[in-house]
Amino acid sequence: MIPTAFPQHMATPLLDDPPVSTALKAQGPPSANTNLPVPSNATTILSRDHPATGAEDQIAADIAAPATDAVARTVVIIYGQNQDHIVQLVAEILGKPWTTDTSLGTVARASDAVVVGILAHDLTRSLQGCERSSLILVNTYCVEDGSAPEDSLTESCDYEFLYSRSPFLRRDLSRFLSLIFGQTRPHDDLRTKTRTNFISTTFPDVHAALPNLDILSVGSDAVEIRVDLLVEPVPEGWTTPPVPSLKYVGQQLMLLRQHTELPIIFTVRCTRENGKFPVDDPALFYKYLRRAIRWGVEYIDVEVWLPEEIRRQLFEKKGHSMILSAFHDFSGTWKWTSEEAQRIFTESAKYADIVKMIAMVHTIEENYELEYFRSTIKSRGSGPPLSAVNMGQMGQLSRALNTVFSPITHPLLPMIAAPGQLTAAEINEALHIMGQLPKRELYAIGSFRSTPHSMFMEKCLNELGLPHNFTSVDRGPKGSIESVLLQPHFGGAYLNPPVPTTTGFIPAVSDAARAIGLIDTIAMTPGEPAPGTSRFIGENAAWKGIRATLTREYVPSAYSSRAAIILAGSQADASAAIFALRSLAVGTIYTVGFKASGPLAVGLEPFTSIQSVKRVEQPFVIVSALPPEKSLLVQPLLRHYGVNGRSSPPSTLGQGRGDPLAVATSAGWTAYGVEDVSAWTTVETLRLLVGQNVPFDFVRMASGRPLF
């Protein structure tokens, strides 16, 4: 069962697919009057309740509890003329009440509003004598007219969000807010992986990367923007500046963020390290790197040769961004066996979340010297992880052996970022040849029709250069799954429909799958299993797909203690959605169509009559896990809880009466369709099966329709 949501302007879910979940969020404007309820909008969710403070209900050890107090301070949004809509949008994403004001002096006395909008020209006067400790200032600026915010305005704020009126605005703003408030921690997720890669965009203009960015990102866990390689366009006859302006860099970063969900690495290289920024101007580096922190970039690449005071200040002011301390040597004489190597790591580790060390080599033996150095760093048992590779053709072996943020390239890039870089596929092929990536047999087990899942999975395996085979197997009589698992080269499977966790042939089960009661993925455990333990573990990817869908346009804490509704034909159909909502610390979950029992039933309350429906003033989330033939049953709830008190939506001209998407949209909801949850679930399934990242945008582009 794959829960989904109907996004605005999204295609209608295919009604010939298996039962799906549908999450809906109300799209009514929050009131500018702080005495009224909080914003009633969210993707796949409805809401008008006042935000509560906690109620984190962690069901399993592997659920990350949302930071329900992350927005404890008043968020002051600085906006331009005729741009006050951005204040409301911030409030909607945070799930908080909002207002606009002309002075920060009155904000401190306003106890209800968490999000306060201040016009940019009022800010300087408002800051005089203001107590800043209880405020967080975010400058928002629309760059559509080609202008840029004043430096003085930017410097007076904690963060800055540059935007354009695009379909990606809400998603990008949600990502920005989630990071600066620490609600999403990409680095923590990446540290759980056995291998991570990042790809560097070496284009002079990010626009050139956009047509192929989905394909470029396959196998990458982050994308690097090489700021020093950007070439700012100038009028004909003018000289191109050696360094792109902050205005141009900000617009390029905004564009990249709009087109990838991957974390971004902000990199500025000097002339002696294969870059273009002047090595004799450390203050220039600080100016650009400090601005990247204000822009909410996930990773900031800081060269270790910069003065210690600059590195210290950047580390102290990094907020929830991660610092990647970088060392490069192109001389070919530097040695991993030298005391200098140990000293550089120690110096880098002072102000770093990751230490990156890269050197040019000329012999194969120097790769073995690097591996010995890597082992000595690991033996310390503390400190930031080390990402270390050798440059040049002789250093390519080290790129396959490095497991932390390996820099990779792609044939579609105009140039490689460093000598000897390999693609993700080439690294996987090298690992296979060395015996580090054995060929495995992967399976789809279930009742499959002529769906494109096999072709899509094979496409992913080919793009990643993985040696595995993928086979679809219809689920036969009892014992057929066991026979597949006993195959000598069995390497994992996804199951559709999922099987109960009580199934005896899967001895190890994750905490999430056990709580949900269903296994939809069988994955290999990383490393060698301990004696007497299973090589495989039963997982549930569906709940992760649901949660990813629900948090793409809302910060996780927006759901805290808010009411939710789930419609389903059985508890089994609803269990993954229940678990996903619990991971977001929702309040009461009201149910329609099934009776819950066991641990998942805690906090659930059934709708038993029209009166019980009327007693719930406004839910924040509606998730439909009904089969297609019963999908119309959600429509009365959509109309009843429509925004602005509407009991029924206006006429939906050109839309079929049986289209839940049309009903949801016309009733004021933001909604996601089955394609979105299916794609996110596919992303999570691939991570479990092959341990590599295939971005959501690539899945949506390549699959074309739900795979499950």
What confidence tens digit (pLDDT) does each residue in 597-606 have?
888 899 899 9
Residue 36, pLDDT above cutoff 70: no
For range 613-637, the mean pLDDT? 85
Instruction: Give me the pLDDT at residue 649, please.
Output: 29
Q: Minimum mean pLDDT among 1-15, 283-297, 523-537: which range? A: 1-15
What percentage of the chain reaches a pLDDT higher than 70?
83
And the tokens for 441?
């047999």
Mean of pLDDT over the chain: 84
Q: Minimum mean pLDDT among 36-45, 503-512, 540-549, 654-663: which range? A: 36-45
In the structure, what pLDDT confidence band is assigned to residue 246 with cuts at 50, 70 and 90? very high
The sheet carrying 74-79 orders its strands as 98-101, 115-119, 74-79, 135-142, 159-163
Instruction: Give me the pLDDT at residue 148, please.
Output: 92
Instruction: Give me the pLDDT at residue 606, please.
Output: 93
The contacts found for 301-306 with CB under 8 angstroms, 24 or more apart, are 301/224, 301/265, 301/266, 301/267, 301/268, 301/326, 301/356, 302/326, 302/351, 302/352, 303/268, 303/269, 303/270, 303/273, 303/327, 303/328, 304/344, 304/347, 304/348, 305/270, 305/279, 306/282
Instruction: Give me the pLDDT at residue 68, please.
Output: 43
Instruction: Give me the pLDDT at residue 110, please.
Output: 52
Q: Which residues pair with 531 in a beta bridge?
A: none
Nearest CA to 139 among 126, 112, 120, 113? Answer: 120
Residue 30, pLDDT above cutoff 60: no
In the structure, what pLDDT confidence band is assigned to residue 31 with cuts at 50, 70 and 90? very low
For range 246-272, the mean pLDDT? 96
Biggest alpha carbon distance in the chain?
A: 80
Residue with tokens 């969900």: 261
In the structure, what pLDDT confidence band is assigned to residue 108 with cuts at 50, 70 and 90? low
Q: How far apart are CA 50 and CA 561, in angstroms?
A: 9
Phi then psi dihedrals of residue 464, to 5 deg: -85, -10
User: 98 near 116, Cβ under 8 Å?
Assistant: yes
Total residue length of the chain:
708
| Strand-pair category, 469-474 with 40-41 | unpaired
User: What stretch of H or E contains 174?
Assistant: helix 169-180
pLDDT tens digits along 342-388: 999 999 999 999 999 999 999 999 999 999 999 999 999 888 999 99
Residue with tokens 């945070």: 94
Residue with tokens 């060929």: 439
In the structure, what pLDDT confidence band is assigned to residue 535 with cuts at 50, 70 and 90? confident
DSSP string covering 668-682, please? TEEE--HHHHHHHHH
Q: Which domains are delineated in the chain? A: 2-63+545-677 (no CATH), 74-180 (3.40.50), 193-420 (3.20.20.70), 441-540 (3.40.50.10860)
Residue 9, pLDDT above cutoff 70: no
Q: How far apart are CA 332 and CA 553, in angstroms?
A: 48
- Report which DSSP code applies to 695: -
In the structure, what pLDDT confidence band is assigned to residue 133 with cuts at 50, 70 and 90? confident
Instruction: Give me the pLDDT at residue 42, please.
Output: 30
**621 three-state secondary structure:** strand
| Strand-pair category, 115-119 with 74-79 | parallel
Residue 568, pLDDT above cutoff 80: yes
Question: Which positions ≥6 away from 265 have C-beta within 8 Å?
Answer: 198, 222, 223, 224, 225, 297, 298, 299, 300, 301, 324
472: region left, alpha or beta (phi > 0 left; psi from -120 to 50 alpha): beta
Instruction: Give me the pLDDT at residue 248, please.
Output: 97
Residue with tokens 């904000």: 107
Nearest CA to 187 among 464, 405, 357, 381? Answer: 405
For range 207-232, the mean pLDDT? 94
Instruction: Give me the pLDDT at residue 107, please.
Output: 66
Nearest CA to 369 among 397, 343, 405, 392? Answer: 397
Residue 648, pLDDT above cutoff 80: no
pLDDT tens digits along 479-497: 678 888 888 889 999 998 8
